[in-house]
């Protein structure tokens, strides 16, 4: 057995605390010290929005173990024999002498810590966009427990006031949900033309935006925030290129940037994303210095490229790998797939792998299919529709990505796809997956299996899909394409696309009524979710119609609801 090492960790959050605990389990004889500049350690930062909404009742709940013990300095010392120094900021790393210089923030006293192995888990800080008024009181980020405490105080001070959230990524949306649940008026502004920019394709993100609208959260996309305006040093309004929003508070959630300054000053390399560069063992270019968590970039398993996607789940996995390597067990971190999930009031949205847009940007030859279906047996109470969009590499048929959104169980389908993709699965490898079936949990053919079957149908030329967005474009551009809605008369009357080139011929009467359809025009077959539309496409093709398409996801995926009657 190797001699007992002296390990120093900078940062007592997910990665640092996990690494420390694992080291002490592997080698109770190692000495482990963590420096952290904050007051709170090892807290559940991802839980902050749920504390704000009141779902998580107590501030301390974000600090407790599963058995109710607060994770403070005493907890780490008494239960794990780990020394944590809070309120201590590392100021420099002397790599030659293996010594970290630090300062006690309360007293100003300079400190020094020797190490044999050093772990940098310095995390990330919120990006602050250069918006005039960003320094007004009432403008918050939402990354630390101090942020959480301050915003919680605002909520206690006045229910039902107005908040503006800047940034439509998952933290922004979680913040919007929290404030809406507190009955605040909430507006969300996003610079890109959709929510979840870079994470979801437009039409899947549009489903979430529509849901936020139903839940009275106003969303402005393609928004240019010009300034935060206020009086007496406190924010009162947010001014965009289009509009002015009243704002008692503003939450800025426009992304994170890695805290690399300490590492850079010590000559440690950053990667192409700007985050710290590490090898698979999570070593920096100094083999005695490891780094993990939100300060490093990761290899994206699907694209093979480096990416910066900081997440608590990844940080925990890093912690284990780092501990293993420090303790002489060889371990590598395999990389990430960009998996995420986000609750947005009654909706859930998530993805794994890459979107159709990302595949195109990377120059990959890929196709996408969208499918809507129920998450449980459709007759089981509480069953809900989920929309899935699969990205598949053409030729190899390798799965590249799955996006999902809806009121139903999205997490399960994302996780199954993430597992399949991690193992390099093709559509054919997983089309017949033996997934858990009982009516309270899934349809007999899970909606993900249906999506894979549809991908197979499309690749075989059986289904000729057109996205609802493209179909809408064809209608609007007036090139003569026709929408054939094959739902029942009753369904049609209840809700349909209000356009002169939309024809309702219920599927059951289609064979007799083929004469009513023009053979020279493109016919777009459509129903509620997509299956009957596909059946109609096959009937028309068999009858010799030359250009027939199925509208993917049917009316459920029709973008925007403004043209429905």
User: What CA–CA distances, in Å, run from 124 to 292, 296, 310, 544?
Assistant: 11, 9, 8, 60
CA distance linking residue 430 with residue 435, whole number of Å: 10
Q: Considering only residues 430-469, where is the footprint of a copy of itself by CB under 8 A? A: 430, 432-442, 444-446, 449, 453, 460, 462
Q: Give the shortest CB-549-to-a copy of itself separation in angstroms.
A: 15
Q: Give the shortest CB-369-to-a copy of itself separation in angstroms.
A: 16
Q: Give the shortest CB-321-to-a copy of itself separation in angstroms.
A: 8
Q: Give the shortest CB-463-to-a copy of itself separation in angstroms.
A: 9
CA distance linking residue 250 with residue 263, whole number of Å: 32
Q: Considering only residues 203-262, where is the footprint of a copy of itself by CB under 8 A? A: none
Q: Give the shortest CB-192-to-a copy of itself separation in angstroms.
A: 21
Q: Give the shortest CB-114-to-a copy of itself separation in angstroms.
A: 23
Q: Give the shortest CB-94-to-a copy of itself separation in angstroms.
A: 32
Burial of 362 (0-12, 13-18, 19+ CB in 10 A): middle
Out of 501, 539, 547, 563, name the contact with a copy of itself by CB under 8 A.
Answer: 539
Which of 175, 211, 157 has its CA nearest to residue 53?
A: 175
Residue whose CB is less far from a copy of itself, 46 or 111: 46
Of 15, 46, 525, 527, which one is the catalytic site residue? 46
Instruction: Compute φ and ψ for 409, nearest 5 degrees.
Output: -80, 100
Q: Are 265 and 90 in contact (CB under 8 A)?
A: no
Residue whose CB is less far from a copy of itself, 286 or 415: 415
Bridge partner residues of 255 (DSSP): none
* CA 476 to chain centroid: 32
Q: Considering only residues 73-102, where is the footprint of a copy of itself by CB under 8 A? A: 78-81
Q: Give the shortest CB-477-to-a copy of itself separation in angstroms.
A: 30
Residue whose CB is less far from a copy of itself, 247 or 466: 466
Q: Are 31 and 142 in contact (CB under 8 A)?
A: no
The answer to the question of residue 13 lying near a copy of itself (CB under 8 A) is no
Out of 170, 184, 290, 545, name the contact with a copy of itself by CB under 8 A.
Answer: 170
CA distance linking residue 456 with residue 369, whole number of Å: 10
- Size, binding site for a copy of itself by CB under 8 A: 105
Out of 161, 538, 547, 563, name the contact with a copy of itself by CB under 8 A.
Answer: 538
Longest dimension (CA), the chain: 89
Q: Considering only residues 484-523, where is the footprint of a copy of itself by CB under 8 A? A: 487-488, 491, 507-509, 511
User: What CA–CA distances, in Å, run from 548 to 459, 466, 535, 539, 542?
Assistant: 16, 10, 11, 10, 11
Q: Considering only residues 22-61, where is the footprint of a copy of itself by CB under 8 A? A: 24-29, 44, 46-47, 50, 55-56, 61
Residue whose CB is less far from a copy of itself, 151 or 239: 151
Residue 84: partners with Cβ closer than 8 Å, 6 or more residues away: 12, 33, 34, 35, 36, 41, 73, 76, 77
Q: Are 435 and 339 in contact (CB under 8 A)?
A: no
Q: Considering only residues 286-345, where is the footprint of a copy of itself by CB under 8 A? A: 301, 311-317, 320, 329, 333-334, 336-343
CA distance linking residue 109 with residue 60, whole number of Å: 30
The answer to the question of residue 147 lying near a copy of itself (CB under 8 A) is no
Residue whose CB is less far from a copy of itself, 246 or 511: 511
Q: Considering only residues 355-374, where is the footprint of a copy of itself by CB under 8 A? A: 373-374
From the CB of residue 561, how many other CB atoms can be counted at a distance below 10 Å?
11
The answer to the question of residue 14 lying near a copy of itself (CB under 8 A) is yes
- Is 46 a residue of the active site? yes
Residue whose CB is less far from a copy of itself, 333 or 558: 333
The answer to the question of residue 420 lying near a copy of itself (CB under 8 A) is yes
The answer to the question of residue 379 lying near a copy of itself (CB under 8 A) is yes
Return the DSSP state at 388.
Answer: E
Question: 347-353 and 244-246: which strand pairing?
Answer: unpaired
Residue whose CB is less far from a copy of itself, 131 or 291: 291
CA distance linking residue 241 with residue 189, whole number of Å: 11
Which residues carry out catalysis? 46
């Amino acid at each position: 057995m190797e001699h007992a090492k002296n390990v120093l960790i900078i940062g007592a959050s997910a990665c640092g605390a996990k690494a420390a605990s694992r080291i002490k389990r592997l080698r109770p004889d190692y000495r482990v010290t963590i420096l952290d500049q904050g007051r709170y350690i090892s807290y559940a930062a991802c839980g902050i929005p749920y504390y704000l909404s009141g779902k998580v009742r107590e501030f301390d709940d974000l600090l407790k173990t599963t058995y109710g013990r607060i994770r403070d300095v005493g907890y780490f010392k008494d239960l794990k024999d780990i020394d944590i120094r809070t309120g201590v900021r590392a100021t420099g790393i002397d790599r030659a002498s293996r010594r970290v210089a630090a300062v006690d923030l309360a007293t100003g006293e300079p400190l020094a810590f020797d190490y044999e192995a050093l772990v940098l888990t310095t995390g990330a800080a919120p990006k602050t966009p250069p918006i005039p008024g960003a320094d007004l009181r009432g403008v918050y980020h939402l990354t630390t427990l101090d942020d959480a405490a301050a915003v919680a105080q605002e909520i206690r001070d006045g229910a039902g006031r107005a908040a503006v959230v800047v940034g439509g990524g998952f933290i922004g949306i979680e913040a919007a949900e929290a404030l809406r649940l507190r009955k605040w008026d909430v507006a969300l502004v996003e610079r890109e033309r959709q929510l979840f920019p870079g994470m979801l394709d437009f039409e899947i993100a549009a489903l979430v935006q529509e849901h936020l609208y139903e839940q009275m959260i106003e969303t402005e996309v393609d928004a240019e925030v010009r300034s935060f305006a206020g009086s007496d040093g406190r924010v009162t309004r947010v001014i965009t290129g289009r509009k002015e929003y009243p704002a008692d508070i503003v939450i800025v959630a426009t992304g994170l940037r890695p805290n690399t300054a300490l590492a850079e000053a010590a000559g440690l390399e950053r990667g192409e994303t700007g985050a710290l560069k590490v090898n698979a063992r999570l070593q920096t270019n100094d083999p005695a210095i490891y780094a993990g968590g939100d300060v490093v970039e990761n290899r994206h398993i699907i694209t093979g490229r480096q990416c910066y996607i900081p997440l608590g789940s990844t940080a925990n996995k890093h912690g284990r790998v780092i501990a293993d390597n420090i303790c002489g067990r060889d371990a590598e971190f395999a990389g990430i797939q960009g998996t995420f999930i986000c609750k947005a009031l009654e909706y859930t949205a998530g993805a794994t792998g890459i979107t159709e847009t990302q595949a195109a940007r990377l120059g990959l030859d890929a196709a996408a299919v969208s499918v809507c279906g129920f998450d449980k047996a459709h007759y089981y109470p509480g069953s809900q529709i989920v929309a899935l969009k699969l990205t598949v590499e053409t030729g190899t048929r390798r799965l590249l990505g799955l996006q999902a959104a809806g009121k139903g169980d999205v997490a399960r389908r994302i996780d199954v796809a993430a597992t399949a993709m991690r193992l390099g699965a093709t559509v054919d490898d997983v089309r017949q997956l033996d997934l858990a079936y009982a009516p309270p949990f899934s349809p007999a053919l899970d909606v993900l299996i249906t999506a894979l079957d549809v991908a197979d149908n499309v690749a075989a030329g059986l289904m000729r899909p057109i996205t609802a967005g493209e179909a809408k474009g064809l209608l609007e551009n007036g090139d003569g394409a026709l929408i054939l809605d094959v739902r029942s008369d009753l369904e049609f009357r209840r809700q349909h696309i209000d356009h002169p080139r939309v024809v309702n011929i219920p599927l059951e009467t289609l064979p007799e009524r083929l004469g009513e359809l023009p053979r020279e025009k493109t016919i777009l077959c459509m129903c509620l979710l997509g299956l009957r539309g596909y059946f109609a496409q096959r009937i028309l093709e068999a009858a010799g119609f030359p250009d027939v398409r199925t509208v993917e996801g049917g009316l459920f995926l029709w973008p925007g609801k403004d043209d429905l009657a």
